[in-house]
């Protein structure tokens, strides 16, 4: 593999690196905050998050894992029916750094097929597992015409020691319009029942967004 293969891997943590590679971590907006949820759909977590969002009058983007969509296709459809955006998080939730582009291409084909079959929507946003790009993966995603999106705020809700209070505090610390907030509606790849803590944190997150005078919004290909 080329020497630059691993360089984009730190983009989620180094804003200047993300900017250098043209990877969005924020919205170009002065009145919206994007809520994003990774790793679903999940039989308990996704409905709980959907209900919390509905109560708060908020919309969000769900980065779906293909193997989970295959297990729960009707639930993936419910996300779209509720007015939210669906996006690609891969078919298998595995790190990209050791995956060749041909292997990734097959993985993404499977993920897209599952999402389209379940929701009728062809997704155009992509976030890699763990937020880690390789240079080859980033180039390939762009050949598909997809928008790569990371985040600017996160709740670290996958951690076993996380609490609703710590999730809300981390996700909203120095929150600004245009931020992209990373949360999870599934514990398939994280600590057991993490989705319960995330759901409990959501009202506080939504209150923080409202305090800014902003709306909690989904992300589209062009926004």
Angle between helices 101-119 and 135-143 (to 10 degrees): 40
Per-residue pLDDT band at 220 (split at 50, 70, 90): confident
- Mean predicted confidence (pLDDT) in 197-217: 97
pLDDT digits over 15-46, tens only?
999 999 999 999 999 999 999 999 999 999 99
Residue 98 binned pLDDT confidence (cut-offs 50, 70, 90): confident
Give which of 149, 163, 161 is closest to 37, Cα–Cα: 149
The pLDDT value given to residue 3 = 58
Q: The pTM is what?
A: 0.97
Extract the runs of DSSP E, i.e. beta strands, from 30-81.
Answer: 32-38, 61-64
> How would residue 4 be classed by pLDDT, with cut points 50, 70 and 90?
confident
Domain locations in the chain? 17-217
Active site residues: 38, 184
Pairing of strands 61-64, 147-148: unpaired
With contact defined as beta carbons under 8 Å apart, do 5 and 136 qualify? yes
**Helix (H), strand (E) counts: the chain:** 8, 8
CATH superfamily of 17-217: Glycoside hydrolase/deacetylase (3.20.20.370)
């Amino acid at each position: 593999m080329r020497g630059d293969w691993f360089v984009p891997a730190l983009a989620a943590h180094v804003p200047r690196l993300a900017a250098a590679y043209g990877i969005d971590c924020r919205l170009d907006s002065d009145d919206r905050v994007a809520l994003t949820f990774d790793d679903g759909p999940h039989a308990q977590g996704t409905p709980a998050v959907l209900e919390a969002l509905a109560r708060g009058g908020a919309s969000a983007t769900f980065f779906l894992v293909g193997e989970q969509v295959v297990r729960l296709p009707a639930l993936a459809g419910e996300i779209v029916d509720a007015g939210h955006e669906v996006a690609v998080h891969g078919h298998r939730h595995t790190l990209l750094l050791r995956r060749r582009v041909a292997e990734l291409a097959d993985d993404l084909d499977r993920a897209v097929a599952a999402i389209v079959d379940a929701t009728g929507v062809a997704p155009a946003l992509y976030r890699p597992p763990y937020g880690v790009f390789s240079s080859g993966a980033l180039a390939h995603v762009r050949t598909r015409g997809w928008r790569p999106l990371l985040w600017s705020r996160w709740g670290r809700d996958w951690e076993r020691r996380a609490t609703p209070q710590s999730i809300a505090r981390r996700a909203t610390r120095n929150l600004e319009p245009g931020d992209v907030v990373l949360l999870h509606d599934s514990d398939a790849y994280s600590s057991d029942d993490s989705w319960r803590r995330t759901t409990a944190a959501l009202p506080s997150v939504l209150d923080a967004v409202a305090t800014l005078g902003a709306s909690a919004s989904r992300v589209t290909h062009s926004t």
